[in-house]
Amino acid sequence: MSTLTVPDVLIALRDFISIWISQIIYFNHIYPDDAFSKKLYLDLVVYQCRAPELNEYIERFAIDMITVLVEKDGGGKVYDVLVLLYDETNLHVRQRYIANFSQFPGLKGQYSSLDFLLNPNLLKDTQSAKINIPNFTRGVVNTNLRSLMFFHIEELKRTEAPQPNDFFFKLLLNVDGENDLNKFSFQWGMSA
């Protein structure tokens, strides 16, 4: 098995966050069910929107979140990723989904660019990015992400929203108060 690298982990995290958000949107029927298609992710059946714009929006959010996450010395810049579902008729929040990242290590200075998150082929130096932790392998990462996704999907199925509804969603980052997010060039809005 090949050596696990930091970019491998960040790409896996990008994919996980994107799919995690997509499942919330699907199981809460934000869009019609036929706007989604089934696909396999870590041997689990998941749903991905057929609209490229929504997929790009979600992936861009995940990439920007990772950029903020790794940009601080010592890590912990992003406390949480939040997906808020709200009723458009009265603007009340109906459901919150939270993924906590406060213990993520900082990687500031490790990379001059995180462009490989947009295109993994742009990754040039993988030697300096090797992770040398015993028993921390690609298989372990995939197993843990698969378990998290499995339980996420099961909980979404258990609490599935009624159809039709007037729900919509917002993607938010709960970040360290010392940080100025204006220095980042986000390409996603506060809601889709």
Residue type, 69: L
Residue 3 has pLDDT above 60, yes or no: yes
% pLDDT > 70, the chain? 78
Residue 178 has pLDDT above 70, yes or no: no
| pLDDT the model gives residue 191 | 44
∠115-117-121 over CA atoms, to 5°? Answer: 75
Identify the H or E element spanning 62: helix 52-70
Q: How far is CA 39 from CA 53, 76, 126, 151, in A?
A: 18, 32, 29, 17
Mean local confidence (pLDDT), 93-101: 92
pLDDT digit string, tens, across residues 117-143: 777 766 665 565 777 788 888 899 999
Q: How does residue 190 score in pLDDT terms, banded at 50, 70 and 90?
A: very low
Dihedral class, residue 17 (left if φ above 0, else alpha if ψ from -120 to 50, else beta)? alpha
6-116+132-174 sits in which CATH class?
alpha beta
Identify the H or E element spanning 93: strand 93-100
Show Cβ contacts of residue 118 under 8 Å, excluding neighbours closer than 6 positions: 63
| pLDDT the model gives residue 149 | 97
Considering only 3-7, 16-20, 170-174, which range has the smallest mean pLDDT? 3-7
Alpha-carbon gap, residue 26 to 32, rounded angstroms: 8
What are the structure tokens assigned to 71, written together?
């940009």
| CA-atom Rg of the chain in angstroms | 17
pLDDT digit string, tens, across residues 11-67: 999 999 999 999 999 999 999 999 999 999 999 999 999 999 999 999 999 998 888
Residue 192 has pLDDT above 50, yes or no: no
User: CB 64: neighbour CB atoms within 10 A?
Assistant: 20
- The pTM score is 0.84
The residue extents of the domains of the chain are 6-116+132-174
Alpha-carbon gap, residue 151 to 6, rounded angstroms: 25
Better pLDDT: 176 or 21: 21
Q: How does residue 76 score in pLDDT terms, banded at 50, 70 and 90?
A: low
Map residue 99 onto helix, strand or coil.
strand
